[in-house]
Amino acid sequence: MTKNLLITRPNYDLPTTYLFSWSKLVIKCAYQKGFRIVDLPNGKSNETDFAGRVNKTDPSFIFFNGHGSKSVVTGHNGEVLVSDKKNLDLLRGRVIFSRSCSSAMKLGPKSISSGAKAFIGYKEPFIFILEPEKSSHPLSDKTAALFLEPSNQVAISLLKGHSSLEASKRAKNAFAKNIKKLLTSESKKEDSATLRYLFWDMKHQVCLGDATVI
């Protein structure tokens, strides 16, 4: 993979605020690994800026954060960035990690058939639990960390030079480690939901396209 990352970071509600914050750790890793970074935070995560920066900087790796559906990835305020019928040419020849609900169901396969090298994402909603009292400091939320640290491992592993399949496996292993940690601890009753959704995210994370691409 050439060292060129584009990352979208909308930030307009609680879930996107968490993804916005936790993606900072990926950006930090990218800097350490010598990547050129195109960061589209807040309102810059719109279709015009996204398309313009992709065409101008030709990123090898695109990391989407935000809401989505089976066929759509959105940016700030829910603006559609890519769908199974729109802007697929912008993904051609690139590795994609979409941390956006259900986007690996239809958009992922369509991206691959349209020329994307690899697409890692979730075939069902990506779910994480948070502690409301930590909402102003998402990186200090230990419950959210159980979900977002493993998910970050996809991007971090790719930045470290692992293949798309290995990156997906490393993230799944991190989910499994957190599941085991909760199962072997004196878990509180409320941890049952945490366990259920950790398993859910691990199960529905998929790697499509060329598994060997780096």
**pLDDT for 100-130, tens place per residue?**
999 999 999 999 999 999 999 999 999 999 9
The answer to whether residue 153 scores a pLDDT higher than 60 is yes
Pairing mode of beta strands 72-74, 80-83: antiparallel
Return the higher-pLDDT residue of 69 and 193: 69
CA dist 176 and 199 (Å) reads 8
The answer to whether residue 94 scores a pLDDT higher than 90 is yes
| Token pair belonging to 132 | 């409301």
**pLDDT for 7-21, tens place per residue?**
999 999 999 999 999
Q: Are 70 and 106 in contact (CB under 8 A)?
A: yes
Mean pLDDT score of the chain: 96
Residues 6+ apart with CB under 8 A from 24: 139
Q: Are 112 and 209 in contact (CB under 8 A)?
A: yes
Helices (H) and strands (E) in the chain, counts: 6, 9
**pLDDT for 33-84, tens place per residue?**
999 999 999 999 999 999 999 999 999 999 999 999 999 999 999 999 999 9
Share of residues in the chain with pLDDT > 70 (%): 97
| Token pair belonging to 67 | 């809401």
pLDDT band at 192 (very low <50, low <70, confident <90, very high): confident
Return the higher-pLDDT residue of 188 and 134: 134
The answer to whether residue 98 scores a pLDDT higher than 60 is yes
pLDDT band at 190 (very low <50, low <70, confident <90, very high): low
For residue 161, the model assigns a pLDDT of 96
For residue 27, the model assigns a pLDDT of 98
